[in-house]
């Protein structure tokens, strides 16, 4: 009998552990946990995604979940400047940017089940407490909070039908915020049986410039911190700036009870797409499957095929035939994480066209004060992108840039906010509505060309708030968008916006030549714009960057880069 079953039979009132979903079968699903030690920013999400990909390539079904320590229910209200971009899933969940990394590596659409925060977990516990579900006892971190975490993981296992669930515990071991997730991991391993769970510690090997050699002490102390919580790592992955020496691996092995061959070096690489290969070379994937007793499930033919496709991508990234400079206007110009998906989408499209892109970040608040500088600022770019954004800062400078590229017939791609700014630019300068404005920029504007339209929101049943998640877009035949999306009249893209084009102004905009080539089915919500007189002047109310995948670049990015190359 498994420990889980024996616990259930002994404790009649189920006082000490989680309610187990009825259809749950112990041992059917395996769990792989990744913890971070020493410091944050080691790329736990990237590592865990790349590892999951190497396993998925072998024909084994995987699903990831990220557990965040913070109390927010989702990432919707987080400042991208502090936390990186807010990634939006098809079901409308606003989550951590790591979920984007998982979707891209695994080429899979994830859902709210793949993302957990302390806030969500505590909310569940408090709801149960109010419903009197704790049978008169006090609600506690252990067993109720940890129980809720285990329940979430097991429900994901059932729903996803995955063979292996990859769990990334956010933060660094030692943080107060994620203690309950760490304790739940330990409990789950005890209940499931150690043969069904693998613990991976991601650590960092420092190499101080003044010493010129790698030092393992910080890593050892970080690993001890996990062991203090009753978790013995099975695998230790060592991030480092240069290849990790055997001496360091031996030392860590001796101090952590982890066999030498399972101490893996993961040094910095020029591209994250090279990580799966490094994982394979270190045999980390094989060790993992051996420990989980899963080696008989490997489909080597599929694996060969997947590796071949992936290698072609790496080859294209490493051997570009040409270089291009693309301008991106942005408020968070110092923090690249704020635009993670956008940068990735450009990377996918440039790999497709076998080129390399250099990004020039354009701070449009400067241009606002000095519009004459626009020409000079944009003189060396082959195209520009105005990405998503909120608020007023730099908006006039963005409109100035769009005017310049429209007049000079330089390729333009506007994403969400960039779509709205392109509408304003066209309304002001071509339709001669000088006061054309967005109510996001000026609430009392006279000509509300971009506005919140609650009547429309009501029709869609979404209330007055943000329109979120994947939605169908109707594409007009014989337009640039139609061609880019392989002559499809219905596509699905992801949204995150509150404002949209005011239908009152559509006839005027169209009369002057702007084409709305994508709209919401049944409602007059405009979703793609294009200007047929230009090489490429396209905007989308949705975020095409969220659906771009390494081997399937989003059509709008593909088309934009192609136009920039002409």
Nearer to ligand GLN, 121 or 556 (CB): 556
How far is the C-alpha of 125 from the C-alpha of 139, rounded, in Å? 8
In this structure, are strands 62-68 and 164-169 parallel, antiparallel, or unpaired? parallel
Other Cβ atoms less than 10 A from the Cβ of 89: the count is 24
d(CA 430, CA 71): 48
Task: Find all residues with CB under 8 Å of 66, minimum gap 6, and list them.
Answer: 45, 95, 96, 98, 99, 102, 114, 115, 116, 168, 170
Which residues lie below 8 Å from residue 129, measured CB to CB, with a gap of 6+? 139
Q: Which is nearer to ligand GLN, 69 or 388 (CB)?
A: 388
Active-site residue, selected from the candidate residues 67, 416, 431, 564? 416
Are residues 401 and 374 in contact, defined by beta-carbon separation less than 8 angstroms?
yes
Rg (CA), the chain: 26
Nearer to ligand GLN, 273 or 417 (CB): 417
- Whose CB is nearest to ligand GLN? 388
The dihedrals phi and psi of 326, each to the nearest 5 degrees, come to -115, 135
Kindly give the pairing relationship between strand 197-204 and strand 235-240. parallel
Which residues have a Cβ under 8 Å from the Cβ of 51 and sit 6 or more positions away?
32, 34, 166, 200, 279, 284, 285, 288
Determine which one of 144, 353, 537, 543 is catalytic.
543
As given in the structure block, the two tokens for residue 254 are 């001796």
CB 64 within 8 A of CB 110: yes
Q: How many helical (H) and strand (E) elements, i.e. helices and strands, does the chain have? A: 21, 21
| Annotation says 416 is catalytic | yes
Residue (121 or 529) nearer to ligand GLN, CB: 529
Residue for token digits 């593909």?
Answer: 558
499: Cα separation from own chain's centroid: 23
Cβ at position 211, least distance to ligand GLN in Å:
46
Q: How far is the CB of 526 from ligand GLN (least distance, A)?
A: 12
Verify whether residue 261 is a known catalytic residue: no
Return the H-helix or E-strand segment holding 68. strand 62-68
The nearer residue to ligand GLN, 238 or 526, going by C-beta atoms, is 526
Phi/psi class of residue 501: alpha, beta or left (left: φ > 0; alpha: ψ in -120 to 50)? beta
Q: Are 124 and 134 in contact (CB under 8 A)?
A: no
Of the candidates 145, 151, 222, which has an alpha carbon nearest to the alpha carbon of residue 181? Answer: 145
348 classed as catalytic? no
Q: Which is nearer to ligand GLN, 86 or 289 (CB)?
A: 86
Q: How far is the CB of 329 from ligand GLN (least distance, A)?
A: 12
Handedness of CA 313, 314, 317, 320 (dihedral sign): negative
- Min dist. Cβ of residue 103 to ligand GLN (A): 18
Environment class of 10 (CB within 10 Å of its CB; exposed 0-12, middle 13-18, buried 19+): exposed
Of the two residues 171 and 389, which places its CB atom closer to ligand GLN in the complex?
Answer: 389
Residue written as token pair 């404005």: 437
Question: Can you give the binding site for ligand GLN, defined by CB under 6 A?
Answer: 388-390, 416-417, 440, 496-499
Nearer to ligand GLN, 108 or 439 (CB): 439
For the annotated catalytic residues, the residue numbers are 416, 543, 545
């Amino acid at each position: 009998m498994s420990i889980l079953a024996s616990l259930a039979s002994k404790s009649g009132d189920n006082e000490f552990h989680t309610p187990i979903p009825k259809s749950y079968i112990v041992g059917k699903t395996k769990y792989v946990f990744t913890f971070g030690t020493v410091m944050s920013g080691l790329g736990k999400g990237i590592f865990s995604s790349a590892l999951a990909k190497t396993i998925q390539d072998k024909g084994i079904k995987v699903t990831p979940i990220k557990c965040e320590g913070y109390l927010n229910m989702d990432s919707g209200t987080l400042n991208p400047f502090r936390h990186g971009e807010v990634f939006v899933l098809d079901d409308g969940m606003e989550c951590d940017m790591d979920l984007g990394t998982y979707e891209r590596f695994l080429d899979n659409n994830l859902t709210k089940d793949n993302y957990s925060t302390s806030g969500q977990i505590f909310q569940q516990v408090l709801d149960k407490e109010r419903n009197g579900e704790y049978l008169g006892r006090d609600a506690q971190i252990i067993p109720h909070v940890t129980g809720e975490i285990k329940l979430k993981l097991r429900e994901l296992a059932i729903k996803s039908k995955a063979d292996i669930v990859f769990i990334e515990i956010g933060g660094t071991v030692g943080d107060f915020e994620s203690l309950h997730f760490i304790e739940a991991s330990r409990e789950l391993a005890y209940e499931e049986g150690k043969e069904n769970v693998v613990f991976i510690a991601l650590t960092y090997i420092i190499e101080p410039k003044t010493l010129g050699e790698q030092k393992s002490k910080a890593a050892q102390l970080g690993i001890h911190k996990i062991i203090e919580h009753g978790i013995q790592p099975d695998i230790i992955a060592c991030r480092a700036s240069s290849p990790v020496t055997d001496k360091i691996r031996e030392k860590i092995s001796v101090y952590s009870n982890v066999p030498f061959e399972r101490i893996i070096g993961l040094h910095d690489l020029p591209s994250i797409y090279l990580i799966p290969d490094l994982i394979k070379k270190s045999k980390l994937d094989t060790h993992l499957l051996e420990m989980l007793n899963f080696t008989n499930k490997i489909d080597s033919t599929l694996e060969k095929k997947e590796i071949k496709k992936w290698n072609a991508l790496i080859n294209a990234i490493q051997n570009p035939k040409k270089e291009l400079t693309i301008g991106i206007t942005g408020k968070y110009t110092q923090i690249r994480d704020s635009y993670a998906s956008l940068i990735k989408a450009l990377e996918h499209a440039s790999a497709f066209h076998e080129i390399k892109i250099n990004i020039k970040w354009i701070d449009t608040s400067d241009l606002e004060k000095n519009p004459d500088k626009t020409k000079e600022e944009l003189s060396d770019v082959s195209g520009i992108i105005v990405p998503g954004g909120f608020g007023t800062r730099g908006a006039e400078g963005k409109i100035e840039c769009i005017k310049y590229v429209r007049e000079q017939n330089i390729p333009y791609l506007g994403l969400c906010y960039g779509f709205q700014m392109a509408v304003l630019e066209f309304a002001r300068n071509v339709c001669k509505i000088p006061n054309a404005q967005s109510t996001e920029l000026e609430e009392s504007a006279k000509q509300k060309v971009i506005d919140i339209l609650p009547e429309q929101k009501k029709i869609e049943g979404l209330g007055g708030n943000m329109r979120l998640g994947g939605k169908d877009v109707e594409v007009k035949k014989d337009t640039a968008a139609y061609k880019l999306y392989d002559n499809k009249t219905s596509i699905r893209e992801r949204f995150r916006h509150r404002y949209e084009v005011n239908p009152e102004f559509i006839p005027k905009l169209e009369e002057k030549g702007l084409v709305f080539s994508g709209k919401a089915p049944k409602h007059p919500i405009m979703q793609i714009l294009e200007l047929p007189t230009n090489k490429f002047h396209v905007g989308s109310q949705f975020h095409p960057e969220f659906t771009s995948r390494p081997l399937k670049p989003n059509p709008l990015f593909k088309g934009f880069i192609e136009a920039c190359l002409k």
